[in-house]
Structures are given as C-alpha cells and as structure tokens.
Amino acid sequence: MKVGSGGGFRAIHYTWKKGREAGGLLKLYKAMRTRNSCKTCALGMGGQKGGMVNETGSFPEVCKKSLQAMVADMQPGIEPVFWQQNTIEDLKRLSPRELENLGRLIHPIRYRKGNTHFETVTWQEAYESIVGKLRQTEADRSFWYFSGRSSNEAGFLLQLMARVYGTNNVNNCSYYCHQASGVGLQSAVGSGTATIVLEDVDQADCIFVIGGNPASNHPRLMTSLMHLRRRGGKVVVINPVRETGMVKFRVPSDPVSLLKGSKIASHYIQPHIGGDLALLWGIAKAVKQLDALDDDYLQKYCSDVDQWRQRVEEITWEEIETKSGVPRSEVEDIARVYASSKRCVFAWTMGITHHAHGVQNVQAIANLALCRGMVGRAGCGLMPIRGHSNVQGIGSVGVTPKLKTQIFDALQKKYQLQLPTSIGKDTLECMEAASRYELSFGFSLGGNLFGSNPDSGFAAEALSRLDMSVMLSTTMNTGHVNGLAAETYILPVLARDEEPTPTTQESMFNYVRLSDGGPRRLPGPRSEVEVIAELGKRLLPEAQGIAWQKMQETSTIRQWIADVIPGYEQIADIDKTGKEFQIGGRTFHEPQFATNDGLANLHTHSIPDLNGRQDQELRLMTVRSEGQFNTVVYEEEDLYRNQKHRDVILIHPDDLQRLGLEHEDRVEVQSKTGVLSNIQARSYESIRPGNALMYFPEANILVSRHTDPSSKTPAFKGVVVRVVPIPNQPG
C-alpha cells in the first residue's frame, strides 16, 4: 500500500511493536518517561519536566526515533562467546542494522593486526595499553573525535584531557553536519546558533523549511507546523523532493490530525539540488521589486547593505532561473507570501549545509530574513534544525579545534592551565593526515567515523593506518569492523539514562537540560566520565593540578564548565536546584547582535554554476531514510518514500527514459570517487528531474572529499553520478 501521509496510526502501531521488543509497553513507557533528555534529535525534550515533554511543557511528545533509540539501549548484552564464534570478516558482512541488533556492548574488546577475531579484555588491560601508547605518542599525532550524543560533562572532560595532553586535534561530528550553519550565522549575527526559542515558532505566521525532512528527522516539529497552518499561517517548503510527510502529516498526539491528516506545506518549491543559493537571491530580488524591503531596519541594524542591494539589482532573472531551476513566476509567488508575513521563521537542515557552498547558503537565508527585519523580534528569526541530541552542547563546552578566546583565557587564568596553541585539525583534515601516516592515535567518543565519512574506501584505508584506535560506544556499528587500526579497543559505555550521576544536554534552542541518569540495565558498561577521568589519572597524574579522581563526579565538571564557558554560569548547581536554563546572549528578541558593532552583516555571493554535468549524468543527494538514525539503520524500509530496500537509486521517470533505463533495472552508479554496483533504479515521480536520491551511509563510497572551504563540510548532497545498466546475466 502506498503511504500518503507521514506519522499517524503507523507511528502508533510502531510504538506497540517496539513495546513488545522492549519486554512490554509499560516498561518502555516508563523508560521514556524518566527525567532524562531525549536521545535522538536536538529539538529537545525530557529533562526535569519528565520524558516526552518539550520546552513549552507540551505532553505527550513522542517520535519513532526516540523509541528506536530507547529500545536499542534496552537490548541484552553481547556475551563473550560471541566474539570467539564470529570472525571480523563475518561481522563485516553484517548490515548496519544487523550490527546494531547484536545487542549492547558489555565487555571491552580488542583487535590486533593479524588476528581474525576480537578478544575480550579487562578494563585494566585496556587502560594500560591505551595509556602506554599515548605516552609513546607525540600529542599532535593523536586526534579526538566526538559524536553529539554524549553529555556536556563527558565532552568537556575529554577535550580538556586532550588539550592538557598537548593537542588541539579535537573536533565533533558538526563538521559533517551543521558547521556551515555555525560559520554562516556567526558571520551574519555574531552567534552561531538559533536566534529564537521554541515559543517563537508558535507565534510565527510563516515558516520556511529549507533542505530538510523534519517529518521523518524531527517529527516533533510537525506539531508546530500543524498549529501554524491551523492559525492560518504559511509553510513554505523548499526541497528538490516532494517529501510525503511535508505535504501531509498525521500528528499522533492530535486526534483530528491523526484521523484526517494535516496539510503541512502551503507552498512547495522544488529547486535543483544545490539550487538554493540562486533561489534565495531570487526571492530577495522579487521582495525588493515588490517594494517590501524594511529599509528602516536595514539602515539602523545592518552593515554592508549597499553592496547587498547592488548585488540584488545586478543578478539577472536568467541566472536565477537557470541556476535554481525555479521559474521566475514561482519565485515571485513565494516572495509575495514572504512580503505579506509579519513574523517569519527560517528553518533549514542538511539540504543547505551539505554543499560546497553551504556557508553561502546560510548567509543567503540570513540576508533574506534581515532584509525584512525578521531577526531580533519575537516570533521570527533564524533556526538551524540541529541533528544529534547534544551536538550543540558538545560544541558549546569546547569540543572544537580552536577554543573560543574567552574559554582559553578562563582556563589559563582560573585554573592556571598551560594549553597548546598549535592549530588543531578539523574532522576531514584528521582523516587526510591519518592517510599520510601523520597521525597514529585516534579516539572517538561515540559516533561512527568510518560510516559518516565521505569516500568510504579512503576512510577505511586512512583509519587502518593508525597504530591505535579507541572507541567508546554503546552498540556495534560499521566503524567497529571496517578500517581497524593495528590495535583497536572498543569500550562499552552507559547510555544517558543509565548514568550513575546527573548529566546535562543543550537543545537547539540553547536550552540546557538536566538528565537524572538511572539504574544500569546491564553489568559491564561504564560511565563515559568515569572512563575519561580514569585515563586522565593514569596518563597525566601530575597534570597541572587537575584532580582526576574528583572529575569522575559530574558535579565537579559542571563547576569547571560554569567557571569557563560563557553563558553556562547557571550550570554550577543545576543538580541541586533542578533549574534548567536558557543560555544568555544567543537568542535575539531585540535587533542588537553579538557582532563587534552590534549590527547584523549582509553578505554578497557569486552563484556557482551547477549545470556543468553532462547529459548522461545526474546530481545525487545522499540522505536518511525514515528508518535510520545516521549510520545506525533500524529498519530496511523507508516508509514515507515507499521503498522496501536501501540498495536503490531514486530517479525521475523522465530521466529513466532519457538514460534508456526501466523501473527496477539493475544498474551501476559511478562517480569520480567510487562505484556502487547492483543497485536497483527506481522510478520516483517526487524528485525534481535531473536529480537522484540514494541512502547514506551506503552511498558514501560515491561522495568525494571535496569540502566547503569555510565550513570544511563535504558536499554530501552534491555528487555528480552516471547510472549505467548492468546487462542481464544469462541463466
């Protein structure tokens, strides 16, 4: 049956199914309701208000992803005999989904070059070898990668240890995610995160959702979009794919919506992949032609206005139409919608950042908002929809190659630390350096560096050139069996709601939540903070007066964070008061910005020509399905796009015909970087002709290592491919 809307009874049925897997719906419900922040996306819910409650107190807020993540953590442990019975080659043949379903990691395991199997080791052995290796390693030959699932406390402590050890090679998954938003926003308004809070969305009369599929990736945002439409507001979706859930969505917690479905998009525009920059300039041009600029605001609160105006004049409709793929009349329609809005929010995700011009995309969104005075007032503003549940917090507490001057100075002054001043490497730079044998030690706090990297062949090779790699993880993923270093340790850690002491997380609205933790589900895994402090104690016992033993208590770490991280002062006694808080200096309800002169900056761009591909080529986006969370695949099927398998390339029927292909033909997909064979070509009406869609992480073999020069983010959504039929094998 074809799925015609997102959410709905399927989501509810899925809850029952997951409840059974978790050993009873009540058990799952109880786990979901504990006072811990949600484990999946950064929209944020849970914390002290209790699970399934959002920042405005609304309940119940449920999404499939949070259930999936919870049930995964409730799995039984992997017994030692498993590692004896299965070779690493066996494990390599498992799909991401099968790896995740092996269960929870409960013993430290080790691989050594030449061995065919993982072996379990004691924590003692693991600590000794890791610290022994670090002692022999020059600090700048090591790197420290962080996913965005860990707590602020674990993130802060590990980056501190890495720096005191002597390196700034500290980075997080943001380089493959929202870095372009951070850089772009910083350059526009002087602060790198959302300029609004959740309440603002509830006051808006118009929202642009650009390059994202929140119906599947941030389902709880859909409630806000539904309410906005019910108030008579407009939802403008900009996406090369007509995503089912963005057209119509059944909000499970709303009876009317559940039965009848809610229309989400009031306007749906399908540019070419990468066509947004031209489109955004086009909308600005049309707004100007409608005489709908806020001249007074521009003059009072913005800088570089004249250059911007000149560029808006100069850019031709011909350039806008050919480079965006959107006809002028449609651009003008959208400009009229925007011109009649009084409070407009601009939201975006990976369709904007995963490009070689990702930062420019973000700046162009900021330009568009600023030109009508839509930043620095209640009910309107800029809203990057963040990925991992604590990716923003990890960045705030110092997990970046270069520490903010304020943090660096505070650490030196308040704690008398001597910190390295060498230039730290971003994520891809670490991979490149590893492949040149310039790095020999890698440490990952969660995540899947192999699986999230572009150019998978290269990534495996680069990582396997390390002498040692250490990964702190909850479950198995492809990064634990591909590209193994000569000596590899996988250390099992507790999930957020199993932590013995409270931890904190920061949502995409700059709201800091407290998670109580809870009883451990399985013997074996240790708290991330405990493991890091133990390594610190052994590696740097004399280090500059840091009491590592005390650092095992998250409250000690919070005191440090309060002392050195701007805006985080209130975290010091959050565990005693339970008072969650909004970080100051980031939300703008007045047009007074965090730039040096307090003005917002407009930016001008020249627009890249994306039409350089040949006739036989398509532009490919690599995206998530409804049933996965990043490199972790929970379900093979992509419900809303009506796909049963992941080994597919979705192509518009016109393109299939042009390329001489039939629906369901087996094809080879080739890019300059790699080849994927035995892929099924599928006819997909919902995609803009000239473009194609495949699933991440399988398609990462095809993605090149070329990055946006400002954000160092690969163009995961801009891969030029050829699709070649595979002749039928006889018999």
Ligand X SMILES: Nc1nc2c(c(=O)[nH]1)N[C@H]1C(S)=C(S)[C@@H](COP(=O)(O)OP(=O)(O)OC[C@H]3O[C@@H](n4cnc5c(=O)[nH]c(N)nc54)[C@H](O)[C@@H]3O)O[C@H]1N2
> Footprint of Mo ion on this chain (CB under 5 A)?
177, 387
Buried b (16+ CB within 10 A) or exposed e, 63-78: bbbbbbbbbbbbbebb
Looking at 194-202, 510-518, 564-572, 623-631, which segment touches ligand X (CB under 6 A)?
623-631
Which are the contacts of 466, defined by CB distance < 8 A and separation ≥ 6?
Answer: 434, 439, 440, 441, 442, 485, 486
Round to whole Å and give the CA distance between 388 and 174: 9
Nearer to ligand X, 77 or 446 (CB): 446
Tell me: does residue 716 bind ligand X (CB under 6 A). yes
Out of 247, 298, 468, 472, point to the residue binding ligand X (CB under 6 A). Answer: 472
Q: Which does 628 bind (CB under 5 to 8 A by kind): ligand X, Mo ion, none?
A: ligand X
Round to whole Å and give the CA distance between 512 and 159: 19
Burial label, 606 (beta-carbon count in 10 A; 0-12, 13-18, 19+): exposed
Residues 55-74 that bind ligand X (CB under 6 A): 65
CB of 258 to ligand X, least distance (A): 20
Out of 185, 209, 210, 287, point to the residue binding ligand X (CB under 6 A). Answer: 210
Q: Which does 403 bind (CB under 5 to 8 A by kind): ligand X, Mo ion, none?
A: none
Nearer to Mo ion, 177 or 347 (CB): 177
Residues 254-283 that bind ligand X (CB under 6 A): 273-274, 276
CB of 312 to ligand X, least distance (A): 21
Tell me: does residue 35 bind ligand X (CB under 6 A). no
Tell me: does residue 293 bind ligand X (CB under 6 A). no
Q: Which does 473 bind (CB under 5 to 8 A by kind): Mo ion, ligand X, none?
A: ligand X
Out of 36, 475, 482, 711, point to the residue binding ligand X (CB under 6 A). Answer: 475
Nearer to ligand X, 218 or 234 (CB): 218
Nearer to ligand X, 302 or 449 (CB): 449
Out of 180, 493, 561, 620, point to the residue binding ligand X (CB under 6 A). Answer: 493
Give kind and range of the element (H or E) at residue 657.
helix 653-658
CB of 447 to ligand X, least distance (A): 3
**568 CB neighbour count, 10 Å cutoff:** 26
Tell me: does residue 208 bind ligand X (CB under 6 A). no
Residues 433-452 that bind ligand X (CB under 6 A): 445-449, 451-452
Nearer to ligand X, 111 or 176 (CB): 176
Nearer to ligand X, 351 or 567 (CB): 351
Is the omega angle on the peptide bond into residue 271 within 30 degrees of 0, that is, cis?
Answer: no
Q: Are 198 and 397 in contact (CB under 8 A)?
A: no
Order of strands across the sheet that contains 109-112: 119-120, 109-112, 487-492, 468-473, 441-445, 142-146, 170-172
Nearer to ligand X, 134 or 273 (CB): 273
Tell me: does residue 496 bind ligand X (CB under 6 A). yes
CB of 65 to ligand X, least distance (A): 4
CB of 279 to ligand X, least distance (A): 8
Residue type, 621: M
Residue nearest to Mo ion (CB): 387
In the block, tokens 């052994």 appear at 538
Tell me: does residue 173 bind ligand X (CB under 6 A). yes
Beta strands in 417-532 (DSSP E): 441-445, 468-473, 487-492, 503-506, 511-515
Burial label, 10 (beta-carbon count in 10 A; 0-12, 13-18, 19+): middle
Round to whole Å and give the CA distance between 618 and 710: 26
Out of 345, 557, 571, 632, point to the residue binding ligand X (CB under 6 A). Answer: 632
Both tokens of residue 462? 């680069």
Q: Are 150 and 390 in contact (CB under 8 A)?
A: yes
Q: Are 443 and 144 in contact (CB under 8 A)?
A: yes
In order of 320, 331, 605, the CA distances from 278 in angstroms are 5, 10, 10
Tell me: does residue 347 bind ligand X (CB under 6 A). no
Is the omega angle on the peptide bond into residue 454 within 30 degrees of 0, that is, cis?
Answer: no
Q: How many residues bind ligand X (CB under 6 A)?
A: 60
- DSSP letter for 254, please: -
Tell me: does residue 462 bind ligand X (CB under 6 A). no
Residues 137-156 that bind ligand X (CB under 6 A): 147, 149-150
Looking at 16-24, 327-335, 493-501, 599-607, which segment touches ligand X (CB under 6 A)?
493-501
Q: Which does 539 bind (CB under 5 to 8 A by kind): ligand X, Mo ion, none?
A: none
Tell me: does residue 305 bind ligand X (CB under 6 A). no
**649 CB neighbour count, 10 Å cutoff:** 22
- Cross-strand bridge partners of residue 629: 632
Q: Are 603 and 180 in contact (CB under 8 A)?
A: no
Out of 703, 715, 720, 721, point to the residue binding ligand X (CB under 6 A). Answer: 703
Tell me: does residue 217 bind ligand X (CB under 6 A). yes
CB of 214 to Mo ion, least distance (A): 13
Q: Which does 215 bind (CB under 5 to 8 A by kind): Mo ion, ligand X, none?
A: none
Q: Are 106 and 73 in contact (CB under 8 A)?
A: no
Out of 629, 704, 710, 712, point to the residue binding ligand X (CB under 6 A). Answer: 629
x/- map, 352-391, ligand X, by CB under 6 A: --x--------------------------------xx---
Looking at 79-87, 204-212, 506-514, 538-546, which segment touches ligand X (CB under 6 A)?
204-212
Q: Which does 447 bind (CB under 5 to 8 A by kind): Mo ion, ligand X, none?
A: ligand X
Looking at 216-224, 258-266, 313-321, 643-651, which segment touches ligand X (CB under 6 A)?
216-224
Round to whole Å and give the CA distance between 41 and 62: 12
Report the interhelical angle of 276-289 vs 358-370 (nearest 10°): 20
In the block, tokens 């390693």 appear at 137
φ/ψ of residue 481, rounded to 5: -125, -10
Tell me: does residue 240 bind ligand X (CB under 6 A). yes
Q: Which does 146 bind (CB under 5 to 8 A by kind): ligand X, Mo ion, none?
A: none
Out of 5, 48, 169, 216, point to the residue binding ligand X (CB under 6 A). Answer: 216
Which are the contacts of 459, defined by CB distance < 8 A and separation ≥ 6?
Answer: 431, 449, 450, 453, 483, 700
Which residue in 35, 39, 34, 10 sits closest to 507, CA to CA? 39
Residues contributing to the site for ligand X (CB under 6 A): 41, 65, 147, 149-150, 173, 176-177, 210-213, 216-218, 238-241, 243, 273-274, 276, 349-351, 354, 387-388, 445-449, 451-452, 472-475, 477, 493, 495-496, 528, 621-624, 628-632, 696, 699-700, 703, 716-717
